[in-house]
Amino acid sequence: MLEGHQSIFFDPGHCIGCVACTLGCPTKAVRVRGGRAHVKPELCIDCGACIHACRYNAAKARTSSPADLKKFKVAVAIPSLTMYAQFGRDVHPAQVLRALKSIGFDSVYDMSWMCEMVAGATDAHLSEGKGPWPKISVTCPAIVRFVQIRYPDLLANLIPVETARELSAKVLRRKLSAEHKCDPGEIGIFFITPCTAIMSSVVNPVGLEQSHLDGAFSIAELYGPLLKAIKQGGPAEGDEEVSPAGLLWAMSGGEIAGMRNTNTMTVRGVSDVQFVLDRIEAGKYSGVDFIEAYICPDGCVSGGLTVEGRYAAQRSIQAIAKRLGGQAHVKEEKVRSLLREHFFDIEEEIRARAIKPIAQDLREAIARNRERAALLKQLPRKNCAACGAPDCGTLADDVLRGEASLEDCVFVRIDRLEKEAISRKKEVP
Amino acid sequence: MDEVLYAEKFTILGNDFEHGGDVAARVKAILKQLGLGGDVIRRLSIANFEAEMNVVMYADEGELELQVTPDAVRIVLADRGQGIPDIELAMQEGWSTATPEMRQRGFGAGLGLPNIKRNTDELEITSTPGAGTTLKYVVHFNG
């Protein structure tokens, strides 16, 4: 089983204490202290930017181990749709599913049709007309955590429709425990993930008390064995099981492409997401119904734990979807009846993730703000990150919180040493 | 007059569309740092943005002063510019003197002043045509 709340960790054996991860982190959650990188868990959104930035293979993703499969009577794989895009456009999803079975999973599950159903549920929720607007997709767990940390006022904008991966696992556990006549706990359901954010959402889910998934493997770690199994497995059969509309969820724009509502937007990449969320907070875009948002630049195909490059992956997904044809896989009546059962509802309210405030009240906050401004004046404002914080302002914050000292700044230190040297010179007659 | 715990002044340049909105963003960052409630920040951000854009579109130069008191945020924005000849008319939704160029940029819907009024607890406008306009508005923490 996965341990700890974060799926990202730094391997002290590999970390050389450079500051690439610190500079790459969009939420300023990484510090280099004592020559090693550390994550501040309260600020981490598990986006994986540090893994991308690290050149020494020190930032790593924590995943399930193959031994975990043996803990269950039936081990099931739910591959992310991005998995289908890893082997070129001529490999069919059915071949990938069969390969997963041959490398050790007792059962596999395609979740493309569940994505198509969630698109229908999203449409239904939007048509109920309950603000605040716009509603924001919860598919990308890093977006959900970003809102929890930075934009608590937008929590009510998150759409309360559960993700396709959690719903898939929920359905599957029920179905398989009946089929195998065993306890639901004896079914082990593993997601094959393109990113660290989903990995963390299995251990530390938002919007439900416990994930319906039992663990997760990365696409990258299964890639080699799968490629071999696909080559040995022969041609495809049974592709009709896959929903072309659902398949497009692997890339940005895919979620809204399958919806009826056209008053929608897609935003991707952390800086663009920040730009849009800032504006929503300021009351803009309230005329938009739904915003599909991803922390990664092209949606899930650009996740940090994939192998195929995101452009090639998008080409494959589009080719496969086109080959499958355009018709809907899911009957509308099915979605309507599940809606009546509240099948799609998020189980728990999504709450803000409290970050320790820097002050207890306004007076103290203003005093702290002045102290901060005074500290910042003493710093060079070169934002070199040599101190281990990503910029001078963050070092000032850390000093205020008692987590760093002003002398962590090399410029401040040199300054002091120079002054001391000059005063020593003066003392010598 | 309430005790002012924190005050800072910002300059806004007329016709500087490139930086239009920057002052509102800086004020928002300060209010966030001070740990003020989300609703207070949201309302002030909307009002400040509208007020700032009014200076950018219609005045030569303006100065926005942020004042934080124990129970409210007060904004005083004084500009040097053409002024508002008929304040009552300008307060009506849909009334606008925006040029086609401004409208092309998405402004000039005639919602500026009404939007400030809607998002603040107190609003006072004084204007001398040909000289300039002063806006004073307040958002209370428990308003």
pLDDT of residue A282: 75
CA dihedral for A121, A124, A129, A135, sign (positive or negative): positive
A358 in contact with chain B, both atoms CB, cutoff 8 A: yes
* Domain identity same for A331 and A377: no
Dihedral, B38, A50, A296, A99 alpha carbons, nearest 10 = -140
A286 in contact with chain B, both atoms CB, cutoff 8 A: no
Place of tokens 């569940």: A114
Closest CA to A195 of A61, A25, A22, A1: A61
Inside any domain, residue B1 = no
Q: Is the peptide bond before A134 cis (omega within 30 degrees of 0)?
A: yes
DSSP state of B4: P
Structure tokens at A122: 């999203």
The domain of A403 spans 362-427
* Domain identity same for A150 and A230: yes
* Domain identity same for A302 and A369: no
Search chain A and give the residue with CA nearest B28. Answer: A282
Q: How far apart are CA B62 and CA B77, in angstroms?
A: 7
Q: Can you give the CATH number for the domain in which B39 is found?
A: 3.30.565.10
Q: Can you give the CATH number for the domain in which A394 is found?
A: 1.10.15.40
ipTM above 0.90, yes or no: no
Specify the 3-state DSSP secondary structure of A386: coil
A-chain CB neighbours of B45 within 8 Å are 281-283
Return the ∠ at Cα A273 (arms to A305 and A27), rounded to 5°.
Answer: 70
Question: Helix, strand, coil proportions of chain B in percent (round to 5)?
Answer: 35, 30, 30
Bridge partners, A132 (sequence order) = none
- B66-76 pLDDT, tens per residue? 999 999 999 99
* Domain identity same for A57 and A140: no
A-contacting residues of B 29-68, CB under 8 Å? 30, 33-36, 38-39, 42, 45-46, 49, 68
Inside any domain, residue A181 = yes
* Domain identity same for A196 and A135: yes
* Domain identity same for A184 and A48: no
pLDDT of residue A22: 96
Inside any domain, residue B92 = yes
Place of tokens 């005639």: B110
Search chain B and give the residue with CA nearest A357. Answer: B35
Residue A395 pLDDT exceeds 70:
yes
- Number of domains present in the structure of chain B: 1
* Domain identity same for A53 and A72: no
Closest CA to A255 of A100, A94, A87, A126: A126
* Domain identity same for A128 and A269: yes
Instruction: Give me the total of CB pairs closer than 8 Å, taking one residue from chain A and one from chain B.
Output: 40
* Domain identity same for A244 and A284: yes
Structure tokens at A331: 């009957």
Total Cβ atoms within 10 A of residue A294: 30
Structure tokens at B114: 């009404």
pLDDT of residue A1: 35
Q: Which of A361-370, A412-421, B69-78 shows the lowest mean pLDDT across its residues?
A: A361-370
Search chain A and give the residue with CA nearest B70. Answer: A362
* Domain identity same for A73 and A184: yes
**Is B34 close to A152, i.e. CB distance below 8 A?**
no
**Is A366 close to B6, i.e. CB distance below 8 A?**
yes
- Number of domains present in the structure of chain A: 3
The domain of B23 spans 6-140
- A183-208 pLDDT, tens per residue? 999 999 999 999 999 999 998 888 88
* B72-94 burial code (b ≥16 CB/10 A, e <16): bbbbbbbbebbbbeeeeebbeee
**Is A282 close to B49, i.e. CB distance below 8 A?**
yes
Residue A239 pLDDT exceeds 60:
no
Question: Looking at CA atoms only, how far is residue B112 from chain A in angstroms?
Answer: 13
Inside any domain, residue B97 = yes
Place of tokens 């991966």: A165
Q: How far apart are CA A14 and CA A180, in angstroms?
A: 45
